[in-house]
Each structure stands twice: as structure tokens, then as C-alpha cells.
Structure 1
Amino acid sequence: MIQLAKQLVNHDHRLSATICLIPLPSGNNTNLTAGDDSRVRFVNLPAVKPPPDTDPARFLPTILEGSKRHIKELVGSDVARLAGFVVDMLCCTAMMDLGSELGVPPYVFYPSGANFLGFMLELQALHDEGKLGDLAELKDTESEMAIPSLEKPLPCKFLPSVVVEKEWLPLLIDNTRRLREARGIVVNTFLELETYALGSVSVAGNPPVYPVGPLLNLNSARPEEEEEEEYKEAVQGNEEVMEWLDNQPAASVVFLCFGSMGSFGKEQVTEIAVALERCGQRFLWSLRRSPEAGEVGPPSEYGNFDEAPLPAGFLDRVSGIGKVIGWAPQTAVLRHVAVGGFVSHCGWNSVLESIWFGVPVGAWPMYAEQQLNAFQLVEELGLAEEIKMDYRWDGGMMVTAEEIEGGIRRLMAAENDEGRKRKTVKEVSEMSKKALTEGGSSCSSLSRFIQDVIDNIS
């Protein structure tokens, strides 16, 4: 959302952007400031505390509903002229009516890809027609689903985790139904990457779709300069990691990193370690401690890796070819010339970052919509190798050392059919950069979106 705001104000001097931050009652929130950009500001809204007996499925909707009056008060006291109201994809049910109350049409920001957008539009339509079965029962079958945003049928074992979790599916269906009421949908993707999926959602009856990505920590006006600035910031405090990469041959290192929420139990960590030792591949592994049973939240860091559930003597045996670290400066690592493959959970931000830096992916999805992202990367776009596409983080599934080793060997191959993916990813990487330049597909789409916003006050 922040990168979208930056792109808007940099693209058109008439615009400014206010980002409303809705705090969680836990107090684990981040206060943001706009830095040097006076045309992007952040407003931390007052906290809304749901009653103690609130149903867990109603926790987030209750917070969003309670935040509406604070947003109305904010707009009412603002001297700037409101031209558009952009709602995050998960706020549609609560916030869509607020646009008309504020006197402007609502738009939706969709930080996932067009493929998932098309998938959810199809599920919502099937649900409302009474044709959507129990997806939780289908996930372990050999059934297939025809999804308009995919060229190939989707095996049900690759259904995204978020839609086979019964507490989440109703919320997503409701959000998608309200999303159809938007004036337009701004999607974090680019035309050259998701041509087929974008075509499937850009049909009569759906709101106009504006692909404006990849929205990364980059500036569409000066991507190379800002990329250099971001790199320097990321390297600070991680000099040891970057120095180690500096000493590795080009495209020789496989980078394993599973996002801000990704971690594994002891048995799975052991399987990964065995696979890395067997295949002999240079590696950089971001290994983090899983929350204890009953805990909720992101993984934490090990004090030292002697505490980690690694095989005895593993660190000594791989010291010449591998490095285990905690939190990783992901974009700085992916940018490094030594990195030749990225074993990833296939979160959409990570997908776009790997494409931007031209690094092929080893697909190991975990939760949310990641199984669908993995299927798209491997089967539709040919930009990734499978590690385990039907993996589900909370299902007790184990990925064996043999599966991991085989996936890494295919991912890092340079001279066979699998190795051609590296060339394909490099080609799509160039497309991603061109999309953001003057006259590029995303730059032109952003201009169309801005013109529609400006027309609201003409």
C-alpha cells in the first residue's frame, strides 16, 4: 500500500495520499512516518477493542466496522479534496459503503496476483449460485477444477489453504462479493506476467482492473537509483552475510527463506538439513524458531544455532559450502550475483521480488493463497521448480529429504531442460522493469487509474 501511494504521488503532482493504519488490540503495531515525502502521510487511527466474548471469526470484522467512524471523522476534518477511497482487499465487506458516505467512489487495492483475484471471483460466483461444494473435502482428492484465470485445470490438492479453512472462506467470499461494487481494482501485478489471468478478469460485469506492479521497494520513476538505496539499507547490519556471498561463484548459491511467518518443526528442519548436505549445493538458509505450542505470532530468532534442531555436527560439515542465518535481508540476497535459486513459500511479494531479480524459484507453499501461486509459477508460467506444491503448513505433512534434494538439484541445474528456466526468468525480469518505465504496461495502467480518480472531481 505504501509503494502504491508513492507511485501515485510521484506519477502525478496533483495527488497526495493518506494511509489509515488500523491498530490491533494486541498493541503489536508499527507507527510509520512518511520521511521526506510530504505528500504521503500516515494516520494511526484509535484502537477498537472487540468485546471479550467476540467470536474469533468476527474479531477482524468487528475492528474494521468500529474503525469506520474514525475514518469519516478524519476525512471530515481534512482540508484536502478527496478524489478516491482505496480499500484493502480484506476490508471490502466493512469499508465498501464508506466510499459513497464520503462522496467518492471506492477502489480496491489487491496485493495478491490477478490469478488469485480470478480464482476468488469464480468461487464467489459458484457459491452464490449454490454450486460450490465443500472445498475442505476436495483438497485430498484427485478432482480438478476449471478456473477462468488458469489455462490448465487446477488439481484440488493445490487448492489454496485459505479457502479450505472454513473460518476464512466466508470472509473471503463476502469480501469478493463486495469487491464487485468497486469503481476499479488496482492489482499488484503486470500485464506481461499474468496476461491470461488479467484477460479472464477484465470482462463485462467486473470492475476495471489496473495492473500497476510489481509494487516493491522501488520507485517507478527511478527504479535503479532507489534499488541501490534499498540495497545499502538492507546490507547494514548484515555485512557478514553479504561478505560470505561475495566469496561464492556466480549463480552457485541456493537461498532458502520462507517469509515473515515461515518456520518448521524439528523433524522438518532435519529433513532440510539432510537434503542440503546430500546434494552438496552451496546454500544460504534463513532458519527461524517456530512459536511454541499455543503461541500465536511470527517465528523468533535462535540465540545461536547450537540451539536449533539440526543434525549433530551439521554446521561443521557444511561450513565450507553453506551458511545458516536468522532473519534475512531478502531483496539484498536475491539481488546478489552469487544467488542462483530461491526456495520460497511463494508469497506474492516474494514471487515478484524473485522475478525482478531474475532468480528462479523452488516452490514450497505453506499457507494463504501460496499453493495457487506455486501452481501458476510451475505449471502455467514455467518460472519455478516444484519442491512440494501441495504442502500445507498446518496439516502435519512432511517433505522428505529426497523430495527437497531433487527439487534443489532441478532448480540449480544449468545445462539441461530445467536449467532453461533461468533464462526464462531473466527474460520476465526485464519485462517487469520495462513495465514500470514511461510507456510500459504498468505505468500506462497507473495513468489510466489516476485519470479515473481525477475525473471524480472534474
Structure 2
Amino acid sequence: MTKVELIFIPLAAAGHIVSAVELAKLLIDRDERLSITVIPIKFPFSNISNYTHSIPSSRIRFIDLPINELDPSLDFNEYFATMIKNSKHIVKETVSKLISQSSESSHDHQGEAFPKLGGFVLDMVCTAMIDVANEFGVPSYIFFASGAAALGLFFYMQDLHDEQGIDIAQFENSDAELAVPSLVNPVPASALPSSFFQKDMLQVLLTLTRKFRETKGIIVNTFSELEPYALKSLADGRIPPVFPVGPILNLKGNGQDGLNNNSSKFKEIMQWLDDQPPSSVVFLCFGSMGSFDVEQVKEIASALENSGHRFLWSLRKPPPKGKMESPTDYSDPRDALPDGFLDRTADVGRVIGWAPQVDVLAHPSVGGFVSHCGWNSTLESIRCGVPIAAWPIYAEQQLNAFHLVVELGLGVEIKLGYRKDERHKPPIVNASDIERGIRSLMDRNDQRIKLLDEMSKYSKEALEDGGSSYNTMGCLIQKIMDNIR
């Protein structure tokens, strides 16, 4: 039996590494010939222990690289590009050592052959590592942690720039609508990621997309029942084969959200939810990097109070201006909330810090989710059958929000065009608009709930034996095996 080792290189950010680790688990569970070495690319503030400490198999191992200590005065785009570039030689050295160790001991103490290097599975932003894989003479595969519609947007924007010579910056702040092939409806410019409007970052994204074309396949965290139109548009033979193998989620928690299931905070949250009526609670959570200034926090608080709905709010404190750090919990949330808010809403709501999101969404008392529409959060809400009120913040979240609300009819809008980036201070979304979105979210719209229940069912069936993603995973493994030299 030929044993095969894959090198996974994810970005150590929650929206990337969580699904990458789950993909690794799915692969080794599916085929006993496979083993995986995960080499995360880390920011100085990365904390990946929550995502890596409970791996159930000896066939997945993690190798920690030195953290990139770069000039903190660099803007994010420069910092990120330099970080990836500087990691190439360290990854090469690390993989060389692994190969050397295997060749020195061609068999283990039980006489079984050590694995053969079968390829690199690279995060969507780590395409520079394709050059490293090429040096070892093995193929590369991209793991695209977002959906097929977003992948289609990347290729469409590259085509506009490279083939049609269109200046993408012209769409910023315009009323233009784009005929993106991976979406049925015309896409307003306001739904495009901010990065496409930033000259330096645009070049980074174009370079990434061009490199996607050099791989043997693109693994996408989606399933065919959710994005049939987008997946069909990507099967035109102009790009490497696309493998929808999702929804790839960690539904067990296991402390992934930073709260151990036995912690007092976790128990307090779940006990409070246990005491609420079914589908009565609106849950507000904006991801690992989501936070708002105090002025916006007060508008959210006012909307919640005026709506009268029960709520569980994951409130995070923004990092200091100019600091490349993650948001943190408030030592006292009263520092950001309106005077008396916690007292007035004590019977109907809870303000917490970092939330055990999967466990909360799966709880029967939760009836709606005010979300930034990160792709992992979107898939979790669909899996749990909880409708979303879309409030995107950065990255491709505006497109995800558009896709969820306009294309799929599975959510409602709070502010689809909202965006936070280094160049612009976002406008304040007023309490009346937020309240309107919350009321619409918690209105048990029969058609929306029916669609969501149906998609939730499909999301579970996709990964079961004979399901669409299960079958695609088999095709992916076969391709990996066929490409071994």
C-alpha cells in the first residue's frame, strides 16, 4: 500500500485555519493511506492552540515555524506580502528535513514504508508556496476557504484587468453593476471587496488568482446544493478542476472558540440560553476580527433595547489605533454601552465577550444571527438552520452578504454595503436601521425558514456516504493519488 504525505500550509487566522484543519481530518478519515503535516503561517498575534490541541489522529501533525517579526510600521498589505515571502525558505527547509528523515529510515520499526510526498495543499493566500512545491517536484492544490461565488469573482476580476484592460478602481463608490459569471444577479460595486479598489492590494489579489491557475485543483468549502450556479460557471475548462467538499466545519467546539466546554463562562451562557423560549434569541457576533467603535456600539445597544427581542451579544473591544492585533474582550462592557443599558435589559439579554459560536447557533432558543457574513459563520448558520441579518465588515464579506440575501433568500439586510478598511472610517449605521433589520430577522418568514430548513438538510446530507461532497472528496483523493510520481 502506497502511503502519501500531504503538506498543508494554512494561514493561522481563524477564518482560514479552522476549516483547513477540518479538511485534514476529513481526508485522513476517508483514506488510511494519507497522512498530513500542517505548517501554519502565523502573524505575531496568532494564537492557534485552540484549533490544534485536540487533533484525534497521529496521522496529522503540526510544525510550528518561527513567528514573523517584521517592521510594525508597515501597512497591512506590505506586512502580509513580506510575511509570506519570508516564510518560503523556512517552509522549504522544514519539508527538506521531513523528506530527509523519511529517506534515512525508509521503514518504521514495524516494517511499514514511510509516506511519499504527494503534494502541497495551500491556503488561498499562500500561493507563493507553489514555487516551493515545484522545487520538490510535487503538485499543488489550493484550499479556497470561501465559497464558489467568491472564487468566481476572483477569476472575473482578473479577466477584467488582464484580458479586457479595465481599471477596476473606477468601480469604487460607483453605481455600477457587474455581470459576474458565478452569480445570477448583477453584482453592485458596493458588494465588491475593498481590496479590489486598493492599487497595491489589487496587484496582490491578481497575482494570487493567476497562481491559482498553476495548480492541479481548487478545493472549495461549499457544497453543490448551495451554489449550483456558481460551480457550473467554474466548470468551463479555463481553470483547474474545482472540488466542492463542504461544508467543512468544526461542529464539536472542543474549545475552538476560546471557551472550554467545562468553563464557568461557557456553562453560564448555555444555562441562560436553556432558560429562553425556542427561537426567541437574536445572537450578535462579528467574528474573530470584528469590532466597532463606541459610537456604533451605542447604536446597536439602542436598537436591541427598542426591538424588545431577547439577545446574546458578543461585544469585542477594537485594538488600539495602528496596532495589528485582534479585538479583545472588555474588562467592563459598561465602558462602551449606554448608561443603564445592562440594568434595563437584564431580564432579556446578555452581553458577553468571545462567544462559543457553534454551540450558540445550535441551541434551540436562538432564532436569528446578526453576523459579519464570514464564510465559516455563514455555513454554520445554514447548517444550524438559523437565518442571518447581514452586516459585512471586510474581505469578501460584502459579496457573501449579497449572495446570502439577494441570491439565496436565506437572510435579511442590515447594511450590505458597510465596509471597514484602513482608508475610510465607516459610516455609523443608525439604531433605526439596525432595529428594522433585527425585527425582520426575527419575523418567522415562512418562505425564508422553509428555504433555510431545506438547505440545512442538504448541508448535512452532502457529507454523508453518497452525498455530493462525499463523492467529490473521493474524486479529489483519486486525483491526488493519480498525480504522484
- Report the TM-score when normalising by structure 1: 0.91
1:410 maps to which of 433, 437, 440:
440
**Does residue 365 of structure 2 align to residue 338 of structure 1?**
yes
Counterpart of 2:237 in structure 1 is 204
2:81 maps to which of 61, 64, 73:
61
CA–CA separation in structure 2 for the residues paired with 1:249 and 1:311 = 27
2:208 maps to which of 165, 175, 193:
175
CA contact (8 A) 1:22 1:46 kept: no
CA–CA separation in structure 1 for the residues paired with 2:89 and 2:129 = 11
CA contact (8 A) 1:411 1:419 kept: no
**Does residue 481 of structure 2 align to residue 446 of structure 1?**
no
2:182 is paired with a residue whose SS is coil
Q: 1:424 to 1:397 in 2, by over 3 A?
A: same
CA–CA separation in structure 2 for the residues paired with 1:53 and 1:437 = 48
CA–CA separation in structure 1 for the residues paired with 2:164 and 2:117 = 39
Q: 1:260 to 1:54 in 2, by over 3 A?
A: closer
1:280 maps to which of 279, 292, 308:
308
Structure 1 position 227, deviation (Å): 7.1
2:190 maps to which of 157, 161, 180:
157
Q: 1:55 to 1:348 in 2, by over 3 A?
A: closer
1:380 maps to which of 407, 418, 421:
407
Residue pairs, 1:80-95, within 5 angstroms: 80-92=115-127, 94-95=128-129
**Does residue 336 of structure 2 align to residue 316 of structure 1?**
no
1:4 maps to which of 23, 30, 35:
23
2:476 is paired with a residue whose SS is helix
1:77 is paired with a residue whose SS is helix
Cα displacement string for residues 16-70 of structure 1 (whole angstroms, at most 9, x for unaligned residues): 011112344x365545456441000111124455578978644333332332233
Counterpart of 1:123 in structure 2 is 157
Counterpart of 1:75 in structure 2 is 95
CA contact (8 A) 1:184 1:210 kept: yes
Structure 1 position 72, deviation (Å): 2.7
Structure 1 position 125, deviation (Å): 1.3
Counterpart of 1:223 in structure 2 is none
Q: Does 94-103 or 264-273 show the bigger shift?
A: 94-103
CA contact (8 A) 1:346 1:374 kept: yes
1:13 maps to which of 11, 32, 38:
32
Counterpart of 2:108 in structure 1 is none
Cα displacement string for residues 56-99 of structure 1 (whole angstroms, at most 9, x for unaligned residues): 6443333323322333333333323111211111011x112222
CA contact (8 A) 1:146 1:153 kept: yes
1:292 is paired with a residue whose SS is coil
1:391 is paired with a residue whose SS is coil
AA in 1 matched with 2:239: N
Cα displacement string for residues 156-182 of structure 1 (whole angstroms, at most 9, x for unaligned residues): 122222322333221111000110111
CA contact (8 A) 2:45 2:326 kept: no
2:220 maps to which of 162, 170, 187:
187
1:73 is paired with a residue whose SS is helix
Counterpart of 2:146 in structure 1 is 112
Counterpart of 2:171 in structure 1 is 138
- Report the TM-score when normalising by structure 2: 0.87
2:131 maps to which of 84, 91, 97:
97
1:255 is paired with a residue whose SS is strand
**Does residue 267 of structure 2 align to residue 239 of structure 1?**
yes
**Does residue 62 of structure 2 align to residue 39 of structure 1?**
no
The count of residues paired between Structure 1 and Structure 2 equals 444
2:283 is paired with a residue whose SS is strand
CA contact (8 A) 1:113 1:188 kept: yes
For structure 2, which runs of at least 5 residues remain unmatched after alignment?
1-19, 103-114
CA–CA separation in structure 1 for the residues paired with 2:395 and 2:235 = 24
Q: 1:54 to 1:370 in 2, by over 3 A?
A: closer
CA contact (8 A) 2:391 2:414 kept: yes
RMSD between aligned alpha carbons? Answer: 2.2
AA in 2 matched with 1:288: R
Cα displacement string for residues 177-197 of structure 1 (whole angstroms, at most 9, x for unaligned residues): 110111000001111111111
CA–CA separation in structure 1 for the residues paired with 2:223 and 2:461 = 10
CA–CA separation in structure 2 for the residues paired with 1:177 and 1:236 = 46
Structure 1 position 287, deviation (Å): 1.0
Between the aligned residues of both structures, percent identity stands at 49
Q: Does 341-350 or 280-289 show the bigger shift?
A: 280-289
Counterpart of 1:222 in structure 2 is none
2:448 maps to which of 414, 418, 421:
421
Q: 1:52 to 1:427 in 2, by over 3 A?
A: closer
CA contact (8 A) 2:161 2:168 kept: no
Counterpart of 1:348 in structure 2 is 375
Structure 1 position 129, deviation (Å): 1.9
